[in-house]
Amino acid sequence: MLIQLVVYEAGSAPRDVVTRHPGGLGGTVVGLVLVAHSPELVRGLRAMVAQAAPGVPVGLAAGSAHGRLGTSAPRVLEALQETLAASRGDGAVVLVDLGSATMAVEIALEEATEAERRLTRLSGGPIVEGAILAAVEAAAGAGLDGVLAAADGAAVVPKLPGDERG
């Protein structure tokens, strides 16, 4: 069975439609919401995710309502709701660029329904590495907590030769 997934950017029309087999054999398609101060940062990261894991729903919430660097709780909520809809109830993992973006996510979650909150996980992992690892897990059919573990686990993945973190 093939399905079509749509990648959403809060405040924009749906785009980046990809046809794929849902989450491998299990049918699970957990989405990602990328929350950052810079729209350019998350658009570039979404392009990386699309190459690493085509078909994983990715919502973006970045920049202020006035077009400046910053975050916006209403944009986060919109991106979350669109991503949850694209995930067909499988959930979404939210990744943030800086600690202050977490505030916007927390405010958005206060406005979300109980069902939306149950299907949402906030990762403390690094946004770039976490998004890539989480997307690969999601594309492989991992459930919500597995995708979250991949995003969080990116914090201890060595980047440099001889780096023995973790």
The per-residue pLDDT for range 112-129, each reduced to its tens digit, is 999 999 999 999 999 999
Residue 23: what pLDDT?
A: 46
Residue 23 CA to residue 33 CA, distance in Å, equals 17
Residue 64: what pLDDT?
A: 87
Residue 161: what pLDDT?
A: 84
Q: For each successive 10 residues of the chain (166 residues), what is the average pLDDT? A: 39 43 59 97 97 96 91 96 95 96 97 98 97 97 97 92 72
Residue 25: what pLDDT?
A: 42
What domains are there in the chain, each with its CATH number?
A: 3-153 (3.40.50.510)
Residue 133: what pLDDT?
A: 97
Residue 143: what pLDDT?
A: 96
Q: State which H helix or E strand residue 137 sits in.
A: helix 127-139
Residue 130 CA to residue 41 CA, distance in Å, equals 14
Residue 82: what pLDDT?
A: 97
For CA atoms 86, 75, 145, 42, the dihedral sign is positive
pTM summary value: 0.83
